Structure 1
């Protein structure tokens, strides 16, 4: 890795796994590197937000402002100082990983994602050994979060480069991290989608199985599930864009241009710029066609069919409202005009 390289080395792992200690050792091994602590962003928000707002969340990571500021601060730092940035921060919710890493990718900032894993018995010993005036509070906090870390291990080990640190000193851990960082093997393959600067036109497609469940996809670059589809390119007919997106995202060729179900105007709500959102009826997929589904790994990690009630817990409120009205439009055999997720008039 060259000095001043525009990259973030994200050290993930359980609370108490030694991420900050390893990060400080890593600074000596990567010329030009800088410690970037996203926890300081949370500390700033705790000083500025009202007690009422803070009482609504269990952790600063649950604040959309924290996730946005982590991305914006990293980008700003890399505009002022040489890289790479070393960020020791536990990140256990996959949707938060998608939002943050996707936001960084949109700014052209690659992320090398490492998981520092410690066997639970040794991890508990490390946590119990913490001393200091706040030692008991820290111990209780770390131990209380262990089940969440264990539950997150399946996606963490699939997404990050795992470094087993149970029997390593902090220096040995940093040496292993530096060796892999030099190769770039821990870089997350994630689609780069620059943030739009003006209102956009997007076309999505609803595809159904023989039980009338709708197909949803899981993007790597933003939180939550989504409909197959994307932004309509300049000069491109929206229905044709919908066909193109299905082919690019699922590897499926629609036999004909799909029928329009809804047009929804999404008002701008910073940081979202809003725009027109169209949903089309892609029809029913036969079983033999499902075997042809091929996802782009840097953009989508999975797909599944979901009932309407299941989709409520998978989609954002705005997307779910669109789905509900699109299903009604499909039943009625006519397109509906919406604004902000509700019918006009």
Structure 2
């Protein structure tokens, strides 16, 4: 293929996130110090990693947990982020349940806080498209399905993926 062909192919940034709940069904969220809204444990996929590997690595780095990365729950596509030159595709994996008393060790360079939240509480903390990902992932976990969240554009101040 010619070099011209590759200039026409879409480029994306890829990320992987963990859907982790506690014994009461509350979701584990983290408060990044570099963006306005809370998010899931997770991050960008490094060169040479596949999405599940990145998810496990990011959970260990961010919250100090060693989790079994389960099945894929959702895939989302977000574009129009002011600080990212390409659309972002995020893979959300089921990383099971941890007891709410489990020690969490935050990655101090990137995170200010964490907590387990009901889906309603999470609505106030997450950007709209990220809360949609929460609901879709919870539904996929319950049904055994997989959800694709079509292209979304974050709110004007959106810095979340």
- Indicate the TM-score class for this superposition, using the shorter chain for normalisation: 0.7 to 0.9
Give the corresponding residue for 1:296. 107
Alpha-carbon distance change, 236 to 215 in structure 1, aligned in 2, over 3 angstroms: same
Deviations 1:124-144 (A, max 9, x none): xxxxxxxxxxxxxxxxxxxxx
Give the corresponding residue for 2:48. 235
Deviations 1:266-286 (A, max 9, x none): 133444432211111111102
Out of 125, 128, 135, which is 1:324 matched to?
Answer: 135
User: What TM-score, normalized by structure 2, do the two folds share?
Assistant: 0.81
How far did residue 301 of structure 1 move? 1.0
Structure 1 residue 247 corresponds to structure 2 residue 42: no
User: What TM-score, normalized by structure 1, do the two folds share?
Assistant: 0.39
Partners of 2:37 and 2:125 within 8 A in 1: yes
- Tell me the SS of whatever aligns to 1:312: helix
Give the corresponding residue for 1:266. 78
Partners of 1:203 and 1:278 within 8 A in 2: yes
Partners of 1:318 and 1:340 within 8 A in 2: no
- Tell me the SS of whatever aligns to 1:207: strand
Distance 2:115 2:50 in 1: 28
Unaligned runs of 5+ in 2: 1-10, 153-161
- Count of residue pairs the alignment pairs up: 141
How far did residue 287 of structure 1 move? 4.6
Distance 1:296 1:271 in 2: 22
Distance 1:270 1:246 in 2: 26
Out of 215, 222, 233, which is 2:35 matched to?
Answer: 222
- Tell me the SS of whatever aligns to 2:38: coil
RMSD: 1.5
Unaligned runs of 5+ in 1: 1-197
Greater helix percent: which structure?
1
- Tell me the SS of whatever aligns to 1:277: strand
